[in-house]
Structure formats: structure tokens, C-alpha cells
Structure 1
Amino acid sequence: MKISARNQFPGTITAINPGAVNGTIKVDIGGGNVVTSSITEEAIAELSLAVGDRVTVLVKASDVLIGK
């Protein structure tokens, strides 16, 4: 599979927090950095995600906002 996202970070799932429709997945990408992603419960099940799985975090954003 080819993917256009250039920001790809391999890591390990450290936590899965289920919700009514969306769940949050925490992925340790090393160096003390953890990325949190909100995805549908259907996607979590379809991908058979589990704590300890090695995954790749793909970031594709047209806007990245920072506020202070």
C-alpha cells in the first residue's frame, strides 16, 4: 500500500481507552513522546488493535494550529 503521508512514526500502543463511538489510542513513538489518536470503535475492532501492538502513526494535516 502506498500512502501520501510523509510524517510516519513507528511505535507501540500503550493504552486504548474505549468510548461510545470513538476511542483513544496512545502510541509511544520513543524519546519520551506519546501520540494520542481518536479513532472510531469500528476502526479499533477492524484493525484488531491491542496494547503492545507495533503500529505506525501517520500524520497528514493541511493545518496544524498552536495557541497560547
Structure 2
Amino acid sequence: MTSPSGGSDDGSAAQPRRLVCACCGTSADALTDGLPLTWTYSVEDGARRHYCQICSRENLRSIEGRLDSDWW
């Protein structure tokens, strides 16, 4: 039997995922399927790239303008 979320029902806790900022290399653990609340991500050339809070804030206009990170 599976749980409603589609995961296993074996009672084990979810394992954190390690995220690394594509700009500065800062890392963080994500305990859920999503990103930490202050992080953003972008899909560039088919690859997902995650950005930490500091890099996201510093490059907000470029992110909103959908510019690839190469232009930052």
C-alpha cells in the first residue's frame, strides 16, 4: 500500500536533498520536494539551475527578464 503522496509507507523520514547555487556555490539542504523558500531556480538550455537568496536578490531584474545566467 502506498501513501496518498505517492511515497513509500515504510515509516522512514524523508532524506534531505543537497542544493548548490549555480552562481556562487552556496549549498543548502531541502527537506521537501521544493526549494528553500528564499531560493529560485531557472531552466537554461534544458538544465535546472538553482540560485541562493543572495544571488537571486542581486540578479532579480535579469531573472525576471528571463536572461540566461551567462548575461549576469
Larger radius of gyration: 2
Q: TM-score, normalised by structure 2?
A: 0.30
Structure with more strand by fraction:
1
Structure with more helix by fraction:
2
Larger RCO, structure (CA 8 Å, separation 6 or more): 1
